[in-house]
Amino acid sequence: MTFWRSKRASTQDKAVAFDLEAASYARFENVGLEISGRTILQDLSLQLNQQRIGLVGLNGSGKSSFVRLLNGLRQPTSGRLEIFGADAVAARKDLPRHVGFVFQNPDHQAIFPTVEEDVAFGLRQLGEDDRLALEQARDFLSLHGASHLAQRPIAELSEGQKQLVCILAVLIMQPSLIILDEPYSSLDALAARRLHAKLESLPQKIVMISHDPSQLEDFDRVVWIEAGGLRADGAPGEILKAYDDDIRAKAAAAGVDDWDRGHL
Ligand SMILES: Nc1ncnc2c1ncn2[C@@H]1O[C@H](COP(=O)(O)OP(=O)(O)OP(=O)(O)O)[C@@H](O)[C@H]1O
């Protein structure tokens, strides 16, 4: 059974010259981001070219801000960023067609009353006919063992169910790059295993934020963001170990049992 829209984007998009086969799907050159006069990200220079890249960093370090740059939710305020070969500022309106974004908080993503309408929405955005989009959404939900949720109001779902629906709403669009911002945060162990296996099987590029190092161990690369900058970048084994060591050192210095000696 196939679900994919007939109007699928070609490798060279007509409106903006995206190169969806580019080896480096994101190129950061001295990229900075300021919001309301505050520096959130600074002087980031790196290229993303591996299939699955994990992002780690403490709360508030800038991970969500970093991934928001990738699909046009934020634009750099300094430096240059190219996504699939196109300037991220000039291409910001077209980026969501190729870069799917699973939000950390499902309430920021789901906008339609029912699950099937929400999953169908992305296909409609891509130009699919309303009725066909809804049919494909139902089939897709069924394929992923979620047909029982199809007509449920999203607002009534559990947090984990909402998170899974938001993931499906992005997967159905088959974007070339999929961003996942802490997708495991509300999932039970079974759903987490299923998602892990699913992500492993996908042909698309994936950039995923996770506070659970075990979900990133088999990724191709891990990038560690600290205080809005690049702290380390490399093989998961090396970076996750260094990150864990750093957390242990900080915990020992701050006194993990003493909330007041730490800081938010
Ligand atoms: N809309 C905004 N206005 C002002 N400051 C913001 C805004 N969004 C994020 N920030 C600030 O940017 C910094 C980085 O936030 P960001 O959400 O990117 O961190 P994070 O690493 O994803 O954190 P977490 O792990 O807690 O999700 C924080 O200091 C945050 O307060």
The DSSP element (H or E) to which 81 belongs, if any, is strand 78-83
227 backbone φψ class: left, alpha, beta (φ>0; ψ -120 to 50): left
- Shortest CA distance to 210 belongs to which of 186, 234, 228? 186
| Cα 77 to the center of its chain, rounded Å | 21
Nearest-angstrom CA–CA distance, 18 and 11: 7
Q: Around Cβ 12, how many Cβ atoms within 10 Å?
A: 12
Alpha helices by DSSP H, the chain: 63-70, 95-98, 115-125, 130-143, 159-171, 189-201, 236-254
pLDDT of 8 reads 43
Return the higher-pLDDT residue of 254 and 181.
181
**Does the pLDDT at position 52 exceed 70?**
yes
Nearest-angstrom CA–CA distance, 73 and 92: 8
- Shortest CA distance to 168 belongs to which of 110, 129, 212? 110
C-alpha of residue 7 to centroid of ligand 1, in Å: 36
Nearest-angstrom CA–CA distance, 149 and 2: 21
- How buried is residue 145: exposed, middle or buried, by Cβ count under 10 Å (0-12/13-18/19+)? exposed
Mean pLDDT for the chain overall: 88
pLDDT of 12 reads 45
C-alpha of residue 59 to centroid of ligand 1, in Å: 8
Domains assigned to the chain: 26-113+153-254 (3.40.50.300), 114-152 (no CATH)
Per-residue pLDDT tens over the stretch 114-134 = 999 999 998 888 888 999 999
State the pairing for strand pair 86-87/38-48.
unpaired
Q: Which of 107-111, 233-237, 250-254 has the highest mean pLDDT?
A: 233-237
ipTM exceeding the 0.90 mark: yes
> Predicted confidence band at 14 (pLDDT cuts at 50, 70, 90)?
low
Three-state secondary-structure class, residue 201: helix
Nearest-angstrom CA–CA distance, 19 and 164: 30
pLDDT of 263 reads 56
Which atom of ligand 1 is the closest one to the Cα of 225? 21
Return the higher-pLDDT residue of 122 and 170.
170
* Phi, psi for 231 (deg, rounded to 5): -90, -45
Mention every residue, 6+ apart, whose C-beta is less than 8 A from residue 49: 23, 24, 25
Pocket of ligand 1 (CB under 6 A): 35-36, 38, 40, 57, 59-65
Residue whose Cα lies nearest atom 4 of ligand 1: it is 35
pTM above 0.90, yes or no: no
Nearest-angstrom CA–CA distance, 171 and 122: 10
CB 223 within 8 A of CB 230: yes
Residue whose Cα lies nearest atom 3 of ligand 1: it is 35
> Predicted confidence band at 256 (pLDDT cuts at 50, 70, 90)?
low
Q: DSSP label at 10?
A: P
Among the residue ranges 86-90, 106-110, 258-262, the one predicted with the least confidence is 258-262
Q: Which amino acid is at 108?
A: H
**Cα-based torsion angle of the residue sequence 17, 20, 26, 27 in order, rounded to the nearest 10 degrees:** -50
> Predicted confidence band at 106 (pLDDT cuts at 50, 70, 90)?
confident
Which atom of ligand 1 is the closest one to the Cα of 58? 25
